[in-house]
Structure 1
Amino acid sequence: MRRTDFYEQLEGTLDGIRRDGLWKHEHELVSPQSGEITLGATGNRVNLCANNYLGLADDPNVVAAAKDTMDRLGHGMASVRFICGTTEEHCLLEDDIATYLRTDAAITFAACFDANAAVFEPLLGAADAIVSDSLNHASIIDGVRLSKARRYRFATRDMTDLRTQLEAARAEGDGAVLIVTDGVFSMDGYLADLAAVCELADAFDALVMVDDCHATGLIGPGGRGTPTHFEVADRVDIVTSTLGKALGGAMGGFVAARRPIVDLLRQRGRPYLFSNALSPAHVGGAREAIRIAATSDDRRERLMRHAERFRSAMTAAGFELTGAGHPIVPVMFGDAAVAASMAERVMELGVYVTPFSFPVVPHGQARIRTQMSAALTDDHLDTAIEAFTQAADDLGIERSLR
C-alpha cells in the first residue's frame, strides 16, 4: 500500500464513523467539573456526564491541598520513581490508599488503565490461567493480552458459566487461576455478584481481582468499594482502582493488595517502571480526597438519593433504563443515530449528556449514560428529567408511559 493510499483508507474509515452516527464529539469546558458546568460561549449545563461521584473535582479543600503540594514540590517529577521520581508524599499516598481499603500495601500509576496493564504479566506465566468477565473494562482486556497465561471468558455475572470456565482452567493446567471482574460494569450500571464470585473462587482455590474504579469512594461502608459492600474484602486478592473518579477526579490509578504482589509490581510492572511518577499536585489532591471520602457518608447518601430519584422519575416517564443500585443510570435507545439526536436535543435544553455507541458499547445497544453526583441538586434533577421528556417528545421517540 502506498503512503497516499494509507491516508485515503483512514479518511474512508472516518467518513464511515460519521455516516453511522458513531462520531464522538468533544465539548470545551470553561469551568470546573461540577454539578453545573459552562460550555464555551453556549452557557451553563446541568452535568450528567462526570464520574465526579462525591463532587470532589472542584472541592476547595482538594484544590488547596493540590496547590500546597505543588508549591512545595514543584510541577512534575520528570522521571520514573526508581530513578529520581519519588517523594515522601508519594509514599504517604500509597499508605493512605492501603489504609483506606484495608490492604497490606498499594502502588500508584498514571491511570488505572496502566494499573490493569501492569498486573497480569509479572504475576502470571504460561502455566497459569486468567478467567475474565466478558464485559470487563478495555484496560483489563489489554492487560490480559500482555500475559502468557491461558485465557478464559465467562458470560457477564453468570456464575454457572464462571464455574464451567474454572473447571476448564483447572483441568487444562496446574498453575494459579485468577478470576478477574469489574466491581461495577460502567456501561450498564450493575454491580458484580462478588460474593458468588468469591464462593466459586474458594471452591476452585482461585485468586480474585476486582477493578473497582466505579465503586471506590461511593460503594460499601466508608466507600471502600464492592469487596466491603459484599463483605468479602478478606477474600479479594487484588483491587485496582482510580484517583480520577470519586477520589478527586484528576489522574492516577493504583493496585491495592498483599505486600508481595505490590512489591513484585514495583520491580516488574512495566507501566510503573517506564512512566513518570504522578505530579505533586495530583498526589496532594488525592490524599485530601481520600481523607474526605473516608468520612463522607452524607455525600454518599445524597448521591444514592439522587440516583434513586432520577431512576424512579425516568422509569415513570417511560424511558428504558438499565443498571441497579448504582449512580450510573444508562438510558437505552438502541440505535446510535437516535441516541445521538436525543443527546443533542437534551444538550440544547440545558443538560450535558453524551451518547455511547459502538465500539464503547455493542452494536444495537446505544445509550445515553447518565451519572449522578453529590454535587447535583434536586433542581438540577428536575431540569434533567424535563429535558429528557421534552427531547423525546420533540423527536417523536416513543416512550412507555406508566
Structure 2
Amino acid sequence: MAEAWTTHLSERAATQRDAGRWRTRRTLGADAPWRDFAGNDYLGLARDTRLIEAQVEGARRYGAGARASHLVCGHLEVHEALEQRLAALTGRPAALLFSTGYMANLGTLQALCDGETRLFQDRLNHASLLDGARLSGARSRRFHHGDLGDLERLLERAPAGGRRLVVSDGVFSMDGDVADIEGLADTCARHQAWLMIDDAHGLGVLGERGDGSVGRAHGPERVPVLVGTLGKALGSAGAFVAGSQALVDHLIQFARPYVYTTAQPPGVAAATLEALALVEAEPERRTRLADRIARFRREAALLGLPLMASTTPIQPLVLGSSERVMHWAARLRARGLAVGAIREPTVPRGEARLRITLSSAHDDEDLEALLEGLADCQRREAAP
C-alpha cells in the first residue's frame, strides 16, 4: 500500500514537470533585493509603519491569537469594530469576517446553495468560486467571460422557479478587466436571481472612496452578496462577506469555514482598521496608482508590448507559451524585478503571461527599471 502512494506521488510529479507546470517557492528575507511587480499590495500599505504599529498594539492588547472560533470565544471587540467598518464602507447593513478570501467564497456558496439551486458563473471566475460551486452541490453552468448575452440565454433556458445565483469576479485576477456590474445586476433582476460579486482586486482601488467595483454604487438590492479581501489593497489579511443582516445571520449558522475556524488574529483586525482609515484619509494613494498605471501603459504601448486591455493595477502581458513566459520572468528576475509568471492551467492554453502588478508605492525609477527590463527581453528575442 505504501508503495502505491509513493508511485502515485512520483507519477504526478513527473507529469507536472514534463508539462512545464512545476511550481516553486522563493524564500525572501525582510529586505529582499527585488522590485516587486508580482504582489497585490496596490496601495503600498503592507509595509506602512502605521499598520505595523496597529498590529503590534492589537496583539499586545488582545493576544497574538484569538484562541477560538468566533462562535466559541474568539469574537473580540476589534473584530466587531472591523465588521461594522467594512459594512459602512460597502454600504451594507452587515459584514462577516473570514480568515481568507478562499474560505469566504467556499463558505458563502456552500451555505447558500444546494442541489435545488441554479448557479451561473463567469468562465474566468477565481478558483475559489469554482471550487465553492462544486462543494455546494448546486446545478452549475458557466457563461462566456463577460458575455451578458450568453448569461441571458442560460437563465432563459433554466427551469422556472427555484433559487438562482449569478457569480462573478469584480476585477478578474488574471486579465485585470472589470465586470459589468450594472449589466449583471440588470440581467439578474429580469430573471429573479441574486448576484454575488467577489471584489477581491477592486476593494481599496476602485470607487470614489476605495469601496471597490461594487461598493455604494451598487447597493444590496442590486448586489445582495459582496465578498472582499483584506490582504491585497488593504495590506493585511483575511476577507469578509457583506450584505443584509439576514444574509450574515445565515452564514453564521451554516457557513462551515466560518463556524469551524479559529477567528482572525486580533492584531490583523487592528491593522485592517488602520488601513481603512488610511484609505479614507489618503485618497492620493489611489490617484498616484492611477498615474502609475497610465504611464506604464503609455510607455509599454510605445515598446509594442502585447498588454491586455486593463485599466486596473493588474497588467497582463500575454506571451503565449509557458516556455517564453518562464524565460522572460527569469531574465527580469536577473535584473532584480519580480513579476508573476502565469501558465496553464491557471490561464487557458496558449495564453501564458507575465502578470505585472502596479502599486502606488512604485516610483519613477521602479517603472523605468521594469520597462527597461521588458525592452531587453524583446531585444534578446529579436536578436539572431
Matched, 1:132 2:121: yes
Please, what is the CA RMSD of the aligned residues?
1.6
Matched, 1:219 2:206: yes
Instruction: Tell me which of 366, 370, 373 is aligned to 1:380.
Output: 366
| Aligned counterparts of 1:282 and 1:385: Cα–Cα separation in 2 | 35
User: What are the superposed Cα offsets for residues 243-296 of structure 1, whole Å, 9 maximum, x if unpaired?
Assistant: 110112x32111011110001101111001111000011111111111111233
Counterparts of 1:70-89 in structure 2, within 5 Å, are 70-89=59-78
Given that 1:357 and 1:365 are in contact with CA atoms closer than 8 Å, whether structure 2 keeps it comes out as yes
| Aligned counterparts of 1:309 and 1:218: Cα–Cα separation in 2 | 17
| Aligned counterparts of 1:124 and 1:20: Cα–Cα separation in 2 | 36
- Residue 228 of structure 1, CA deviation: 4.3
User: What are the superposed Cα offsets for residues 285-308 of structure 1, whole Å, 9 maximum, x if unpaired?
Assistant: 111111111233200011111111
Matched, 1:365 2:364: no
| Aligned counterparts of 1:395 and 1:352: Cα–Cα separation in 2 | 20
| Aligned counterparts of 2:276 and 2:103: Cα–Cα separation in 1 | 20
Given that 1:222 and 1:295 are in contact with CA atoms closer than 8 Å, whether structure 2 keeps it comes out as no
| Aligned counterparts of 1:311 and 1:191: Cα–Cα separation in 2 | 17
User: Structure 1 residues 193-202 or 67-76, which shifts more?
Assistant: 193-202
Matched, 1:189 2:176: yes
The one-letter code sitting in structure 2 at the alignment partner of 1:336 is: S
The one-letter code sitting in structure 1 at the alignment partner of 2:56 is: K
Matched, 1:52 2:16: no
The one-letter code sitting in structure 2 at the alignment partner of 1:303 is: L
> TM-score w.r.t. structure 1 length?
0.92
Given that 1:110 and 1:251 are in contact with CA atoms closer than 8 Å, whether structure 2 keeps it comes out as yes
Aligned to 1:243: 230
> TM-score w.r.t. structure 2 length?
0.96
The one-letter code sitting in structure 2 at the alignment partner of 1:283 is: A
Aligned to 1:256: 242
The one-letter code sitting in structure 1 at the alignment partner of 2:227 is: T
Aligned residue for 1:129, secondary structure, equals strand
| Aligned counterparts of 1:364 and 1:270: Cα–Cα separation in 2 | 37
| Aligned counterparts of 1:188 and 1:24: Cα–Cα separation in 2 | 21
- Residue 397 of structure 1, CA deviation: 7.9
Aligned to 1:115: 104
Instruction: Tell me which of 56, 79, 89 is aligned to 1:67.
Output: 56
Aligned to 1:14: 13
User: What are the superposed Cα offsets for residues 213-245 of structure 1, whole Å, 9 maximum, x if unpaired?
Assistant: 00000011111111248x333511111111110
| Aligned counterparts of 1:153 and 1:363: Cα–Cα separation in 2 | 18
Aligned to 1:29: 28
Aligned residue for 1:221, secondary structure, equals coil
Matched, 1:288 2:274: yes
Aligned residue for 2:257, secondary structure, equals helix
User: What are the superposed Cα offsets for residues 17-54 of structure 1, whole Å, 9 maximum, x if unpaired?
Assistant: 233332222222212xxxxxx43xxxx22110110001
Q: Percent identity?
A: 33
Matched, 1:162 2:162: no
The one-letter code sitting in structure 2 at the alignment partner of 1:83 is: V
User: What are the superposed Cα offsets for residues 99-121 of structure 1, whole Å, 9 maximum, x if unpaired?
Assistant: 11110000001101101011123
| Aligned counterparts of 1:397 and 1:119: Cα–Cα separation in 2 | 52
- Residue 167 of structure 1, CA deviation: 0.9
| Aligned counterparts of 1:14 and 1:366: Cα–Cα separation in 2 | 21
- Residue 16 of structure 1, CA deviation: 3.1
Aligned to 2:88: 99
User: What are the superposed Cα offsets for residues 305-352 of structure 1, whole Å, 9 maximum, x if unpaired?
Assistant: 111111221122121111322110011111001100110001111211
Given that 1:109 and 1:253 are in contact with CA atoms closer than 8 Å, whether structure 2 keeps it comes out as yes
| Aligned counterparts of 1:87 and 1:296: Cα–Cα separation in 2 | 28
| Aligned counterparts of 1:236 and 1:317: Cα–Cα separation in 2 | 40
Aligned to 1:34: none
Aligned to 2:334: 348
Structure 2 alignment gaps of length 5 or more:
none
- Residue 193 of structure 1, CA deviation: 1.1
| Aligned counterparts of 1:16 and 1:388: Cα–Cα separation in 2 | 31
The one-letter code sitting in structure 1 at the alignment partner of 2:68 is: S
The one-letter code sitting in structure 2 at the alignment partner of 1:305 is: D
- Residue 353 of structure 1, CA deviation: 1.4
The one-letter code sitting in structure 1 at the alignment partner of 2:12 is: T
Structure 1 alignment gaps of length 5 or more:
32-37
User: What are the superposed Cα offsets for residues 166-205 of structure 1, whole Å, 9 maximum, x if unpaired?
Assistant: 1123xx1411211110001110111011111111112112
User: Structure 1 residues 374-383 or 318-327, which shifts more?
Assistant: 318-327
Given that 2:89 and 2:215 are in contact with CA atoms closer than 8 Å, whether structure 1 keeps it comes out as no
| Aligned counterparts of 2:27 and 2:362: Cα–Cα separation in 1 | 20
| Aligned counterparts of 1:64 and 1:262: Cα–Cα separation in 2 | 31
Given that 1:218 and 1:225 are in contact with CA atoms closer than 8 Å, whether structure 2 keeps it comes out as yes
User: Structure 1 residues 297-306 or 19-28, which shifts more?
Assistant: 19-28
Cα separation, partners in 2 of 1:304 and 1:63, compared to 1, 3 Å? same
Matched, 1:141 2:130: yes
- Residue 380 of structure 1, CA deviation: 0.5
The one-letter code sitting in structure 1 at the alignment partner of 2:95 is: A
